[in-house]
Structure 1
Amino acid sequence: MYRPLLTLLLILCITCSTLAQQRYEANWASIDSRPVPAWFEDAKFGIFIHWGLFSVPAFGPTARDSVGVYDRYAEWYWRKSTDSNPKNKTYPIFKRFEERTYGPNHKYQDFVEGFTCDFFKPDDWADVFRQSGAKYVVLTSKHHEGFTLWPSAQAWNWNAADVGPHRDLAGDLIKAVKAKGIRMGYYYSLYEWFNPLYKTDVAGYVDRHMLPQMKDLVTRYQPDIVWTDGEWDHPSETWRSTEFLAWLYNESPVKQDVVVNDRWGKETRGKHGGIFTTEYDLVHDANSEGMAFSRPWEECRGIGSSFGYNRAENLEDYSTSKQLIDILVDKVARGGNLLLNIGPTADGRIPVIMQQRLKDIGDWLTVNGEAIYGTRKWEKSPKVDSKTTLFFTKKGNDLYAICTRWPDAPLTIPGVRKPKRVSLLGYAGNVPVKSSGNGLALTAPTLSPGTIPCQHAWVFKLEGAL
């Protein structure tokens, strides 16, 4: 009669010992040993939001100005419009716009009056995100300008609660988003361009400004994601990144499920932290490209060519729904996630064109989501490149073949066994299939406009093929 009790005590002891071993130390060897929470790899699709005072001028160069990808970021307005260094080749573009639109004596701080957020309805935003099929959201709590979207004590009179809209924008949105069953976290810039303390005393800035802000953000809102940026000025030791992450993993209220990225110091991208991040298909450290795909990773990009809303962009600057769905398929088939950015307006609206793109993605995911959510990369997948139109994901013993172009000829799929059933997601009819050498050949059914299940990309499910 005592044996069950002894067994239970033994299990409890083992569990306690395991938990005790999971305490993380403030060094990269220990921090990097923490697994990325499984929910992130299952989620696959998230929404990035760049919103701040830069949303008032809402201006940046475009492809028509013949500038590079990183030169088109409207959220860099303050820095780019004041930095006359010859290396800043976009300074004349920003400066010309600034003087023509606001006059020669205008200060960036004056944009506070225009950041009204009059039309910001967090529940409506959350509905847009839910309809898009996104499983998580990341909001810029503070960009490099230092203006916070929550009432930060370290940003007195330089936050959305003290000035401008006089609202806790970060708090209002996370409440609405989580109520829809969507995870949410925050982007946070480690550095601030013009903070006097940062410019004169980095150690004091980290100790008295940055770390207290980050801990306040975590304890106040309990985010699912802490997505840092602006790390490149200093090594992680200067930012005391491992110290913060040890606190986050050991002591914080989100220690079990929180996901972090790899932007913790100028040496860390693609090497240390949590998920690895790419941006508009660029891995910032060329030597880390292989590593960037060896663990959970995420591509971030805008629907347009800027993260912050850019009024200068035309239709040609925006990716089409087809292009965005293809990007999502490509990233997921490679084993990654897509964090797709929107740039709301200064009065709190999600531009209609962005809403339309998100709705189209959501409509596609309604039909084909099982080939995206919870899937993993198929190790035997043929090499993917810019010309690939047939992608693969897997879930258990099932294989999904995703065609970004309707197959006019039979599809040959090597290295699989005869499936129990082959179907076209969203279509009730049969899909002809036969053995072909070491694999299978399947033929797309003949469809009409009334029977085609979706637009842009089509998924064949091969049940039990693995």
Structure 2
Amino acid sequence: MKKSFLSILFCFFSILSVQAQYQADWKSLDSRATPAWFKDAKFGIFIHWGLYSVPSWATKSNADGFGSGYSEWYWQRLHDPKLKIHKEFVAFQEKVYGPNFKYQDFAGQFKAELFNPDDWADLFKEAGAKYVVLTSKHHEGYALWPSAESWNWNSVDVGPHRDLAGDLTKSVKNKGLHMGFYYSLYEWFNPTYKSDVNKYVADHMVPQLKDLVTRYQPDLLWTDGEWDQSSETWKSKEFLAWLYNNKSVSENIVVNDRWGNDTKGKHGSFYTSEYGQGTSSGTHPWEECRGIGESFGYNRNENLEDYMSSDKLIHSLVQVVSKGGNFLLNIGPTADGRIPVIMQQRLKDLGKWLNVNGEAIYGSESWKNAPQASTDSTVFYTKKGKDLYVICAQWPDQIAIKGIANPKNISMLGYKGKIKTSQSKGKIVITTPVITPRTLPCNSAWVYKIEGVL
């Protein structure tokens, strides 16, 4: 009897230890390897969509520094008289909506009546994206799902009267893409946050995050607003231990590094860089995020020249991936649920390029022996197994690559003709073929595949 009881007790504690594989300390949490799907995916779609999509306006002034033109910060710009651009926001608000119109009134105008999640998912798939990250809740606190913690301040209780996060999650997963959520840890004007941050974390933030995970089982959590408090105050270690041990998401879940003003570039499945400002890494997975224009949320004040061309977006993708990172490209839908046509066009152009050259992107790694790239570099390198990919942002007459020899084969992706090469003094010289418009494999960034040289 005693032996049997001890055996049962041993099994019980063994089960507990398996279930609690990760503890609430950084050493334990950082020991978890980043799931392979994220490192292989390389390209994702970011979506900033919320009440700020109604005014959809920001200045073009950089008077207040980085992020001045972010339309998703509309509410905060209206209420911060210390900002140089504050008066411009107040003037716009009063001119368009009147002096008595409050930001909360935008909830009634955020209707998403043209939102078709299947159409969005089709576009993301066609763009060649492998994952999607939706703003479930930005700093304004308005949630895109029926969150009990945001009662009467979510998309089911007020506005569209629809579970926007749930509907998009279903469509995205049906397309075989990974679904993720952006979530702001802090809220600008939440009275509990402003008066008692510990109560806010315990009663609002943590339960809300757990609800988001439990409902939709995402593969990615992209937190933000971390700078206002330490990871201790946010209870980040405790939440991440719960997340990593949660069987419904533990196999695929990845998180970024924004879990406190002490965590960026130190903790998380991947590090983040935003418009080129942030943490890239040669040893740890990382991700660059940016909009097609200068804003994440849709900004009606942006013109054509404010948007990156398809060529520049392709080159940005190539540059980031050649350094070992992922490229998270943002779109800003309108308040009625449309993806602006110019953004659709850019995504489709990326998809056309990836359809030809994705072999050099998905599942690739940076080539450690690549020549040091400068800001004006036009040749980039990725590798996969023993194969090297040479990606030319400009059409070259000839390319010389040092440090490789005796390739099994050299080809240009999407081109069926032969490639003329020569070899001497420890380098391979590729002569660009004469190609007609009919045989041109793509319109930007041409890729040579050099097999069996690594």
Shorter-chain TM-score tier: over 0.9
Q: In structure 1, give the amino acid aligned to 2:22.
A: Y
Q: Which residue of 2 aligns with 1:389?
A: 378
Q: Which residue of 2 aligns with 1:80?
A: 77
Q: Which residue of 2 aligns with 1:462?
A: 450
Q: Deviations over 1:410-447 (max 9, x none)?
A: 20111112111100000000011111311201111001
Q: Which residue of 1 aligns with 2:31?
A: 33
Report the identity percentage.
61
Tell whether 2:208 aligns with 1:216. no
Tell whether 2:175 aligns with 1:180. yes
Q: Which residue of 1 aligns with 2:224?
A: 229
C-alpha root-mean-square deviation of aligned residues, in Å?
1.5
Q: In structure 1, give the amino acid aligned to 2:186.
A: Y
Task: Please state how far the C-alpha of 1:152 moved relative to its aligned partner.
Answer: 0.2
Instruction: Quickly say closer, same or farther: Cα 1:22–1:396, change in 2 above 3 A.
Output: farther
Distance 1:52 1:339 in 2: 19
Residue 345 (structure 2) aligned to one of 356, 379, 400 = 356
Q: Is the 8 A contact 1:185 1:224 kept in 2?
A: yes
Distance 1:21 1:401 in 2: 45
Distance 2:178 2:131 in 1: 4
Q: Which residue of 2 aligns with 1:6?
A: none
Distance 1:21 1:414 in 2: 51
Q: In structure 2, give the amino acid aligned to 1:405.
A: Q
Q: Which moved more, 1:435-444 or 1:152-161?
A: 435-444
Residue 194 (structure 2) aligned to one of 199, 205, 212 = 199
Relative to the length of structure 2, the TM-score reads 0.95
Distance 1:343 1:273 in 2: 26
Relative to the length of structure 1, the TM-score reads 0.92
Q: Which residue of 2 aligns with 1:272?
A: 267
Where has structure 1 moved over 6 Å in runs of 4 or more? none
Q: In structure 1, give the amino acid aligned to 2:318.
A: V
Q: Is the 8 A contact 1:218 1:252 kept in 2?
A: no
Instruction: Quickly say closer, same or farther: Cα 1:303–1:177, change in 2 above 3 A.
Output: same
How many aligned positions are there? 441
Q: Is the 8 A contact 2:45 2:328 kept in 1?
A: yes
Q: Is the 8 A contact 2:288 2:325 kept in 1?
A: yes
Q: Which residue of 1 aligns with 2:56?
A: 58
Q: Is the 8 A contact 2:19 2:245 kept in 1?
A: no
Task: Please state how far the C-alpha of 1:66 moved relative to its aligned partner.
Answer: 6.0
SS at match of 2:227: coil
Q: In structure 2, give the amino acid aligned to 1:41.
A: K
Q: Is the 8 A contact 1:229 1:263 kept in 2?
A: yes
Q: How does 1:368-383 map to 2 (within 5 A)?
A: 368-383=357-372
Q: In structure 1, give the amino acid aligned to 2:91.
A: R
Distance 2:286 2:440 in 1: 33
Distance 1:141 1:21 in 2: 28
Distance 1:281 1:436 in 2: 38
Distance 1:71 1:252 in 2: 41
Q: Is the 8 A contact 1:28 1:272 kept in 2?
A: yes
Distance 1:235 1:68 in 2: 24
Tell whether 2:322 aligns with 1:333. yes
Task: Please state how far the C-alpha of 1:256 moved relative to its aligned partner.
Answer: 1.4
Q: How does 1:415-434 map to 2 (within 5 A)?
A: 415-434=403-422
SS at match of 1:246: helix
Q: In structure 1, give the amino acid aligned to 2:437.
A: P
Q: Is the 8 A contact 1:52 1:149 kept in 2?
A: yes
Q: In structure 1, give the amino acid aligned to 2:217.
A: Q
Q: Deviations over 1:71-115 (max 9, x none)?
A: 110000000111112xx2221121111111111111000001110
Q: Which residue of 2 aligns with 1:9?
A: none
Task: Please state how far the C-alpha of 1:260 moved relative to its aligned partner.
Answer: 0.3
Residue 88 (structure 2) aligned to one of 75, 93, 99 = 93
Q: Which residue of 2 aligns with 1:286?
A: none
Task: Please state how far the C-alpha of 1:272 moved relative to its aligned partner.
Answer: 1.1
Task: Please state how far the C-alpha of 1:456 moved relative to its aligned partner.
Answer: 1.2
Q: In structure 2, give the amino acid aligned to 1:222.
A: Q
Distance 2:379 2:424 in 1: 17
Q: Is the 8 A contact 1:144 1:230 kept in 2?
A: yes
Q: Deviations over 1:303-341 (max 9, x none)?
A: 000000000000010000000000000000000000000
Show structure 2 runs of 5+ residues with no match.
1-10
